[in-house]
Amino acid sequence: AYCLCRQPSQIPINILSIEQPQPTHFSRKFPSHHHTALAKSRLALIMAEGTMGPSKPQVLVDSFTTTNTSAVATGGFNPADVSDMMIPEMSSDVLIVPKKENSAATSMPRLDSTSHSGSDQIVSNASRQTEAPSEYFSVVSDLTSLSDSQGKRSGSNRTHTGSQIIHDSNVARRSLEDKMNPMAKLGWKKVGLVGRKEQIAKIKQTVQQQMFPTSDPEQASLVQESPKKQKTLLSLSGPSGVGKSALALQTLESILESTATVAKQPLYYSAMGKWSLTNTDEPLSILRRIFFQIGEQVQERDPETRQRILEEFQQEKDVLAWWMPALLQAETDSSSAEAETPPSFDHNQLRYVTTSLLATIDRPIAIVCDDIQWADPTSIALLKHWATDNSINKLLIIVTYRSDEVDTSHEVTRNLLEPLEQDDKIVDVPIGPLTEDQTEELLTELLALPSDVETSEFSLHVHKSTGGNPFYMVSFVQSLVDELLLAYNLGTMKWTWDLDGIKAATSVSDNVVDIVKNTLTSWSRACALLPVAATLGSSFEVGTLAGICSALEADDKVSVERDFGLGALPAASEIHTWLKECEDGGFLTSIKVKENDGTTFKFVHDRIQEAALGLLTPSKLERLESAIGRAIASQITDDSGVVQESASDYLVFTAVNLLAAHQEVDAVETAISRSHYAFLNQAAGDRSTAKSSFKLAVRYYDTAVGLLSEGDWREKREFCAKVYSGAAWSSFCAGDAEQMLYYADVLLSREEVPILLKSSTYHTKIQYLCNADRHMEGIVLTLELLEALGIRIPKTKAGATVDTLAGLVKSQRKIRRMSEVDIEKLPIAEDRKELAIARTLDTLSSAAYHGKVELVPIAALMLFNRTLKYGLTKWSAPAFSLLGLIMASGLEDFASTKSCYHLSIAAQKRTPSKDMGARLLFLNHQYLAHWFITAQNSLRQLHEAYRIGLMDGDIESGAWTICFYHENAMQSGRPLMLVHADAVTYTKQLKDYSMLKQKRYTTWTWQATRNLMGSDLTTSKLSGSITTEEAEMAHFKQTKDKAMELAFVRVQMFLAVSLGDYERCANIALATADEIVERLPSQPANIRVRFNAALSALIMVQRGHRKFKRLATKNAGVLRTWAKKGNPNCLHLDAFLDAEKARADRKQYAAIKSYESAVILSARQGFLHEQALANERYADLLFGLGRTEDALTQVQDAIKLYREWGAMSKVNQLESLISGSAR
């Protein structure tokens, strides 16, 4: 009858006989009244469609109360049973109207009708005077789902007119089915919230406290004063299917919607990412999707935040194009806004870039990370960093994971949950199965059952069959509907079930995946297409799936129908239609992944994806994955097997991972050639390295290494070198020194490989040795590489000194004659060997600074001369800076130093390189600029270098920059509260970035700041709660790092002078001052080394200790020379020392004049602390002269300045002095 609905006059009525329940779609014997309802309901649909046609008002009528059911049961049919019905007021919705006896004549007039085939009459639209009672109305049951779905399940090759039972339009029909489906009306999507009151309350409390704390004064102060107490991660854990995702999303949505009161200035941002069990190896793809969503929200609703982000990342548009392309669409064509080629990210750079983006937004942000048990390690590390970084305000990360898959050894536990639990940053919300009572509540809500309906036995069986798992329940109930064991009675407008039949037909041991598989098998198109789609992940693009289907059909090695039993796959033009049918069946849903994307689908639940994969046996699934991997590989590689640069990361990782299902090499070769598979793994390794997923990269490189043969070293030397070089670098970055050394030594030992192909591996090993404080070994290896490249360096100190002196004189003359115009005329070097030499000379200059200092000027001079001879490289700019350092520290030629400063900037403009930006700022403003500009200007540039270093991936330069910034800030008089705040921030960041040496360096300044502020014991020893002198000296003894030890002594001297312990400072200076300046040349802090040595020595001389006179004379003389040559940071110090020298010579009035000059010059230059010290020393002189009132005035001025600086220890000292004077 259904198939012939367009031709009702030809319906064989005996089809509707329900005496023997034999129709093929009935799999269980069912009570006759259900068959009666089904048969008559379908007949009503048939008559409605056949009579009215698609253009007429669509009204469904039923006659469940008719007494003539026997006619139908025996094969007869009376059209009057259909026509003798009441019709309520018409609407655009389809309605079911149960007949109420004797109401037609009294309630409503007889309506006009139209006839069809002479006798079949059905009421059509007409005017009416009386509206039917409200109890007559009900949303239509799942008639269309029960009928139309049979057409979809029967296969795509069968055609019938009944496939559009209500509407000729597929789109309209789906919309209508949504309205008709009782599941949609009866809370099908709300089951995740049943029985979860406690969890909802906990989630709401956490969201409110973390994202919107200002409404609660106590919480607002908590966020401002103690960011460590914030709960930045909300963890929802439990078995699959208990409703973790639904609970998180629905609860969060309700909170955020109630909070959003501003239309175009959103109070919050929210985004979601979901990992898949089949694409766990593609790094960062899900987090990038999260940033896509946030970027689109910013672009659409928040112009103020968009402008702030664009200003912050003005120089890093490629970063925005990769993470938030929507923000650039106003400036570029929307189709090209997204970065075509992903930028390479160092793992620390990755942290900084993403953290900066989130911090710049400066609004509450909620990020939902679903199924994090499948997340890649890089994403897990980033989430942990965001959760612990205090620069991101009001960020809440909500993660869900399967508790039965995450044990104590899992990556999520070790690197996310445990660290955050130790920091008290996590709120854990465990979610378990529902109880028996909650199961009954769920079924009651799901089926909209009245309170008087007895469901206990039914719900108990459902609970036993599903273990109280909500998703299992939904799947289980849906299977009962599909098997007609649970039906919606249109007569009573209630769901009915046969409990005995359900118990007989179902088993408590039934698995939800098996239930879903059984459902899938009845949908031929889903059964054919979804296993292919499931191999691509939890979500996939239609275009990708279409290409794979076409490739599989064209693959002569496999037959989809013969080998896998899936049935024919759709043509590219039909793929979207098939997917829509799968969406109608409740297996898929369409989503928007990124801007302008409307062709992406995802599986409704992981279990459906698993069920789709489970339709194939393990061996067949492996063969299918192999075929799909081969199909993708053919699309992204050239004829030689090399992966195209334009190939997306998604396709590269999907192809290589699907092919990786074949563990044996021989099995791989049946799917793809050995060399092609090696190329794929090398490409995956390169792309993993670019995204800082180094452990994953090692795995790919290791696979590629295993595929190489001895013959490949002769025929494919460059490829072999790339694989081993990449493996060595990724192993080094992953912290596996042993594996790195293995790969490096194998490559370096291959005599047939040219030195240029080995060069990068040499540098990897050199960097490893230097990072391990094995600088001498690193220098030896660097010299070995230079010799292999044809460059000889003097190996003795005497030879190095001679070459340096001769070279300096020549270079000094060249520098004096050069200008930025000459840099513009130089060519750009392109020769590979010359580039390798330039890089190695630059490496030598860095390594030698910590091992053989005499080699630094030689490397700089050679690089400078080769630049003039062969052209500019990206290492030329640092060479100019190093040459300027030598001019300043060796020749005290500050004019040439300034020239080198400007030449280096000009060279960088000619050869811009991101990995050199931070380093050049570091060299110029730590070693050159302070000779001719004020310290405050250099501080700003050093801080900018730190930001650029983190943004561009030069973490080491950025880390050293912030160390020196911190030390210079303290020694140049920056308010101590700010210095202290910087120390708290930067020591944590340096620890997060694994820059442990730089972190140690910064703690010294932090400890000195605390001593000056009075936060720790007021002592001139550099000891307290952060570190102690004893611990540091023990460390230096162990590491033998003389440069670090001298830098520590430099901070000791500053603290001793600042707290008035001049004898301690003088003794330290007597032993180490000259060594500090020689070993750490041309640094701003060395100005204070000379000043502190001279000042403390002069004061000791005034006290009668003549042994310090030579120390005072030498250091004061050096400062006088620097001041005369125009160093703006030495003028006030020179005047200060003049006063002390006058006092030592008992020239009191000359001393008074010099003190006054020192006070004025210090104030003019902004050196707050040294102005206060000059006032203090001036007061001391006046007290000695008996001018107590004038002395007290100077002391008061000093107290005011020290208080302004934040040195409360000094304030307390001087206030005690005033009290003593008063007594």
The pLDDT value recorded for residue 880 is 95
Q: Give the helix/strand (H/E) hosting 121.
A: strand 120-123
**Which distant-in-sequence residues (6+ apart) come within 8 Å of 173 by Cβ?**
144, 148, 164, 165, 166, 167
What distance in Å separates the CA atoms of residue 68 and residue 835, rounded to the nearest whole number?
A: 97
Strand order in the sheet with 426-430: 269-274, 365-370, 395-402, 233-238, 426-430
**Which distant-in-sequence residues (6+ apart) come within 8 Å of 1110 by Cβ?**
none
Pairing label, strands 269-274, 365-370: parallel
In a 13 Å sphere around the CA of 1057, the CA atoms on its Cβ side amount to: 30
Q: Give the residues across from 237 on adjacent strands.
A: 401, 430
**What is the number of other CB atoms lying within 10 angstroms of the CB of residue 340?**
10
302 phi and psi angles, rounded to 5 deg: -140, 75
Burial of 470 (0-12, 13-18, 19+ CB in 10 A): buried
Please give the average per-residue pLDDT across 1056-1075, as a whole number. 95
Please give the average per-residue pLDDT across 9-20, as a whole number. 38
What distance in Å separates the CA atoms of residue 897 and residue 431, rounded to the nearest whole number?
A: 67
Residue 385 CA, chain-centre distance (Å), reads 9
Summarize pLDDT for 427-441 with one digit per residue, the tens: 999 999 999 988 888
Does the pLDDT of residue 49 top 70, yes or no?
no
Does 423 or 114 have the greater pLDDT score? 423
Please give the average per-residue pLDDT across 794-805, as a whole number. 68
- The lowest-confidence range among 166-170, 282-286, 730-734 is 166-170
Helix 303-312 × helix 285-301 angle, to 10°: 120
What distance in Å separates the CA atoms of residue 138 and residue 790, rounded to the nearest whole number?
A: 90
For 170, the token pair is 């597929």
DSSP SS3 for 833: helix
The rounded radius of gyration (Å) of the Cα atoms in the chain is 40
The pLDDT value recorded for residue 595 is 44
* Cβ pair 904, 842 in contact under 8 A: no
For 1015, the token pair is 């936060």
Summarize pLDDT for 1126-1151 with one digit per residue, the tens: 899 999 999 999 999 999 999 999 99
**Which distant-in-sequence residues (6+ apart) come within 8 Å of 1071 by Cβ?**
none
Buried (b) or exposed (e) across 385-415, using 16+ Cβ within 10 A?
bbbbbeebbbbbbbbbbbbeebeeeebbbee
**pLDDT, mean over the chain:** 78
Render 346-384 in DSSP notation, one character per residue: -HHHHHHHHHHHHHHH-S-EEEEEE-GGG--HHHHHHHH
Total residue length of the chain? 1223
Pick the closest to residue 674 from 684, 664, 683 (CA basis).
Answer: 664
- The lowest-confidence range among 34-38, 424-428, 769-773 is 34-38
The pLDDT value recorded for residue 540 is 86
**What is the number of other CB atoms lying within 10 angstroms of the CB of residue 1108?**
24
What distance in Å separates the CA atoms of residue 932 and residue 1125, rounded to the nearest whole number?
A: 9
Summarize pLDDT for 189-231 with one digit per residue, the tens: 445 478 888 999 999 889 888 887 765 444 444 344 444 457 8
Summarize pLDDT for 1087-1111 with one digit per residue, the tens: 999 999 999 999 999 999 999 999 9
The pLDDT value recorded for residue 22 is 39
Summarize pLDDT for 958-1011 with one digit per residue, the tens: 999 999 999 999 999 999 999 999 999 899 888 888 888 999 999 999 999 999
Residue 545 CA, chain-centre distance (Å), reads 27
859 phi and psi angles, rounded to 5 deg: -60, -45
- The lowest-confidence range among 69-78, 474-483, 767-776, 1169-1178 is 69-78
Pick the closest to residue 1144 from 1179, 1176, 1112 (CA basis).
Answer: 1112
For 1194, the token pair is 């100077």
The pLDDT value recorded for residue 799 is 64
pTM of the predicted structure, to 2 decimals? 0.73
DSSP SS3 for 713: helix
What distance in Å separates the CA atoms of residue 439 and residue 469, rounded to the nearest whole number?
A: 9
What distance in Å separates the CA atoms of residue 802 and residue 989, rounded to the nearest whole number?
A: 43
Helix 436-446 × helix 470-482 angle, to 10°: 50
- Residue type present at position 983: A
Q: What percent of the chain has pLDDT over 70?
A: 77
What distance in Å separates the CA atoms of residue 1072 and residue 755, rounded to the nearest whole number?
A: 44
Helices (H), 597-664: 606-614, 618-636, 649-659
- For the CA atoms of 1133, 1137, 1138, 1143, the dihedral, rounded to the nearest 10 degrees, stands at 150
Burial of 634 (0-12, 13-18, 19+ CB in 10 A): middle
What distance in Å separates the CA atoms of residue 190 and residue 196, rounded to the nearest whole number?
A: 11
Q: How many degrees, rounded to 5, is the angle at CA 670 between CA 666 and CA 674?
A: 65
Band (pLDDT 50/70/90 cuts) for residue 1202 is very high
In a 13 Å sphere around the CA of 1118, the CA atoms on its Cβ side amount to: 23
For 628, the token pair is 């799909």
What distance in Å separates the CA atoms of residue 289 and residue 796, rounded to the nearest whole number?
A: 57
* Cβ pair 211, 268 in contact under 8 A: yes
For 1037, the token pair is 């003894």
What distance in Å separates the CA atoms of residue 272 and residue 244, rounded to the nearest whole number?
A: 13
Band (pLDDT 50/70/90 cuts) for residue 733 is confident
Burial of 1074 (0-12, 13-18, 19+ CB in 10 A): middle
What distance in Å separates the CA atoms of residue 600 and residue 483, rounded to the nearest whole number?
A: 31
What distance in Å separates the CA atoms of residue 998 and residue 1198, rounded to the nearest whole number?
A: 34
* Cβ pair 891, 869 in contact under 8 A: no
Q: First vs last Cα of the chain: how many Å apart?
A: 116
Pairing label, strands 426-430, 233-238: parallel
Helices (H), 911-992: 914-923, 935-952, 955-971, 976-992
**Which distant-in-sequence residues (6+ apart) come within 8 Å of 429 by Cβ?**
199, 202, 203, 234, 235, 236, 237
**Which distant-in-sequence residues (6+ apart) come within 8 Å of 622 by Cβ?**
661, 662
Render 534-591 in DSSP notation, one character per residue: HTT-SEEEHHHHHHHHHHHHH-SS--IIIII---PPPPTTTHHHHHHHHHHTTSEEEE
Q: Is the dihedral of CA 486, 487, 493, 498 positive or negative?
A: negative
The pLDDT value recorded for residue 802 is 65
For 902, the token pair is 């400007």
Summarize pLDDT for 351-399 with one digit per residue, the tens: 888 888 998 887 889 999 999 998 988 899 899 989 988 888 889 999 9
What distance in Å separates the CA atoms of residue 461 and residue 70, rounded to the nearest whole number?
A: 35
